[in-house]
Amino acid sequence: MEEPARSFRSRVNELFSSVLGGVRRPTTSFSKTFSATTACLLILVLLVGTIASNRWIDMSTFRGISFQRSLTFDQRPRDYPLRDEYLLNCTTTNTTLTCPANYPPPHGSSELLNTQQCPNYFRWIHEDMKPWKKKGITREMVESSGKFAHFQLVIVNGTAYVKQHDKAFQTRDVLTLWGVLQLLKLYPGQLPDLDLMFQCHDQPSIKKNLYMGSKAAEVPPLFHFCGSDSTFDIVFPDWSFWGWPEINIKPWVPLMKDIEEGNKRINWTDRKPFASWKGNLYTGQRQKLAKCNSVKDWTAAIHHQDWGKEAAEGFKNSDLSEQCTDRYKIYIEGNAWSVSNKYILACDSMTLLVNPIFYEFFTRSLVPLKHYWPINDHPDQICRSIKFAVEWGIATLTRHGRLDKQVANLPRKRYQ
């Protein structure tokens, strides 16, 4: 039974090495590894720069605009921690912040050119930019998106300028900017001059039904952490890839190492043969899950997470590396998409994904019955759907003593 599991893991490793290529085993040289997440950011901003007219992205554009912070890089060499240690000093907000010149080591353009194949989700970048493909992006369009934005990011000659339009929840804006700064440092001179608006709410804002007919040429270009079939928001990796300190979640690289170690503690076949979910139960369609909380009746264990209580107790019950102990993990959206999707997929468990409304930058390329098991989101069917998935998996393993080809395509392994 272990041999098919190993074969399964190798196939899923191959998939997710293209989804988030920035994390590798410790024996792999990180400096030689091309990060698909970073590549996604780079190609996205390059495409925006191509579409946008250079006539209005120059310094004269910003006369009269008061930018609160400029972010530059210090050229003096200094010691810096290991590559996967993300240090961010947020003690002040109205001063020029600097990053050491020798961290992180820059990537050369040859690394981009030598990449064997772009991940499949890269094609969705072109889909997200389609509203502006024919006529481009004007300054008026960018300014019109300001009423939706939390902050405006301008890059001119390799220097990032930031103007806050509204206060974002917690540190979503700060950590997003931190990711952009790393991009600037990794690929010096390769980012065009840009003027981008970012929103940090849960749900996307640019409704398609408001930009039809004559208004179709006036769509505001707004970057957001998720999108939907009914909105035009441009999808950008969410802040939690660089950490979520308010709920004690590490940046992706060190967290992935913790989850990998947690996965090794219990083999998949030795795990509890039911589906589990843990989080804030009282938001969005998650309330449907409450009635499924019965291992006996529905083969599911549903746990409500009180984040206020958890913070007071030092987050001792919310270690993500300790939550991969069941054979099946449920993903369900809350108020919008949830950052938990990548952590659930990273577990050495089979993902049961409740039919989503929103998508992240990589999720549109995931294929049902190959990368996850789809769960019916109808209130009268969700519990039955979860039970069927679990019992089908148990029966298949028991009857055949192995994973057949269909099961072997279901992900029970981590991102790479």
Does residue 397 carry a pLDDT above 50? Answer: yes
pTM score above 0.85: no
**Do strands 151-156 and 194-198 pair parallel, antiparallel, or not at all (unpaired)?**
antiparallel
Residue 314, pLDDT above cutoff 90: no
Three-state secondary structure string covering the chain:
CHHHHHHHHHHHHHHHHHHCCCCCCCCCCHHHCCCHHHHHHHHHHHHHHHHECCCCCCHHHHCCCCCCEEEEECCCCCCCCCCCCCCCCCCCCCCCEEECCCCCCCCCHHHHHCCCCCCHHHHHHHHHCHHHCCCCECHHHHHHHHHCCCEEEEEECCEEEEEECCCCCCCHHHHHHHHHHHHHHHCCCCCCCEEEEECCCCCCCCEHHHCCHHHHHHCCCCEECCEECCECCEECCCHHHHCEHHHCECCHHHHHHHHHHHHHHCCHHHCEEEEEEEECCCCHHHHHHHHHCEHHHHCEEEEECCHHHHHHCCCCCCCHHHCCCEEEEEECCCCCCCCHHHHHHHCCCEEEEECCCEECCCHHHCCECCCEEEECCCCCCHHHHHHHHHHHHHHHHHHHCCCCHHHHCCCCCCCC
* Domain-ending residue, one of 195, 217, 242: 242
* Same domain? 224 vs 287: no
Same domain for 121 and 195, yes or no, is yes
Q: What tens digit of pLDDT does each residue of 209-255 get?
A: 999 998 999 999 999 999 999 999 999 999 999 999 999 999 999 99
- Count of structural domains within the chain: 2
pLDDT band at 307 (very low <50, low <70, confident <90, very high): confident
Tokens 């393993």 belong to 397
Q: Confidence class of residue 59 from pLDDT cuts 50, 70 and 90?
A: very low
Which structural domain, as residue segments, surrounds residue 371? 2-18+249-408
User: What is the C-alpha separation between 302 and 173, in angstroms, rounded?
Assistant: 31
And the tokens for 333? 């959206």
Q: What does the block give as tokens for 393?
A: 């998996």
- Strand 223-224 with 227-228, pairing: unpaired
Average pLDDT over residues 307-324: 87
87 falls within a domain: yes
CA 294 – CA 300 distance, rounded (Å): 6
- Domain of 280: which CATH number? 3.40.50
Average pLDDT, the chain: 77
**pLDDT tens for residues 261-276?**
999 998 888 899 999 9
| Residue 299 predicted with pLDDT over 50 | yes
| 41 and 171 co-located in one domain | yes
- At residue 107, the pLDDT reads 55
Q: Helix crossing, 2-19 with 36-51: angle to 10°?
A: 30
In a domain, 122, yes or no: yes
What pLDDT sits at residue 311? 87
**Does residue 211 fall inside a structural domain?**
yes
Final residue before a domain boundary, out of 219, 242, 265: 242
More confident residue, 409 or 167: 167
- Determine the straight-line distance between the first and last CA of the chain, rounded to whole angstroms: 24
Tell me which of 75 and 45 has the higher pLDDT: 45
The answer to whether residue 319 is domain-embedded is yes
Helix 172-186 vs helix 36-51: angle between axes, to the nearest 10 degrees?
A: 90
